[in-house]
Amino acid sequence: MNTTAPFRDLKPEKTKSLELGTEWRFFDSRLSVDLTYYKTNTTNQTMEIAAPNATLYNTYFINAGDIQNQGVEAMIRYDVLRDTKLKWNTALNYAVNDNRIISLSPFVDRFSLTGDGTGANYASQFKVGGSFGDIYGTVLNRDAQGRVIITNGAPSLAGGQMQYLGNANTKWQLGWNNNFAYNNFTLSFLIDGKFGGQVMSVTQAMMDGYGVSATSGQARDAGGVKVNGVDANGNPVTSVDAEKWYNVVGGRTGASGEYMYSATTVRLREASL
């Protein structure tokens, strides 16, 4: 049985792009600067999304309206030592990109790329005004002061639609490259940094839910999970039994918002001698 609706209104994907760049050299080309600005708008991207429950299909296709990317790329290169036996040149590379969903289909203003199935507690969603890589999920129920609301000795989940948790994409990148030369020897290395962005650890959530993670074990040894909470009567709660806490927070139906982590990384990408 065919579970995907026929796509009768297929339109060709189109991309409009603008790019401006400049290159400057100073001090007999010892210092060079390259700058580039770009902007692209892609329309009619073909995407497969979940069909409404009333239809006889599981999925159908749409031509997504307008996805925009714009950003800046820059490189600064300098010959620190050029007219000596030891030669050294260094370069910095910088890049930043802003992705924006300007419009989608006339029929939908948001849809999920992954997750969002029965019992799911997280999803990667496309939403007008948002960005590719936006992560939505479930969160703990909190009061106006940000304290977790504890009911019958356990935390409670906030109801309603999934809430925005973060974006998986890097906000900006920076690379630092160095090259040294002396007689017949050359040494080079590249340090690469990606800054911003967040990731979700479903593995950690599942292990906490089953009580087999180091974190849940430490909480049991400590006599409970330390929290900034409040009960139904407004009384402060500073500790919750580890089993009750992770039965609600962990697992595939728990508070996925508690398992977001920074994706910032700085690495020695390459080294050679």
Residue 151 within a domain: yes
Q: What confidence score (pLDDT) does residue 46 get?
A: 82
Residue 206 within a domain: yes
At 31-40, the pLDDT tens digits run 999 999 999 9
How many distinct structural domains can be found in the chain? 1
Task: Output the average pLDDT for the chain.
Answer: 91
Cβ neighbours of residue 230 under 8 Å, at least 6 residues apart? 143, 147, 148, 149, 150, 236, 237
Average of per-residue pLDDT across 42-46: 87
Higher pLDDT, 109 or 136: 136
Cβ neighbours of residue 118 under 8 Å, at least 6 residues apart? none
Residue 51 within a domain: no
pLDDT at 52 over 70: no
Query: Tokens standing for 134?
Result: 């936006």
Token match 């749409």: residue?
62
pLDDT at 116 over 60: no
Residue 156 within a domain: yes
Q: Name the band, by pLDDT with cuts 50, 70 and 90, for residue 104.
A: confident
Provide the β-strand partners of residue 231.
150
Phi, psi of 33 (to 5 degrees): -135, 125
The neighbour count for residue 8, using CB atoms within 10 Å, is 6
Q: Name the band, by pLDDT with cuts 50, 70 and 90, for residue 181.
A: very high
Q: What confidence score (pLDDT) does residue 1 get?
A: 63
Residue 5 within a domain: no
Residue 256 within a domain: yes
Residue 22 within a domain: no
pLDDT at 117 over 60: no
Q: Which domain holds residue 124?
A: 69-272
Q: What confidence score (pLDDT) does residue 185 get?
A: 96
pLDDT at 49 over 90: no
pLDDT at 48 over 90: no
Residue 56 within a domain: no
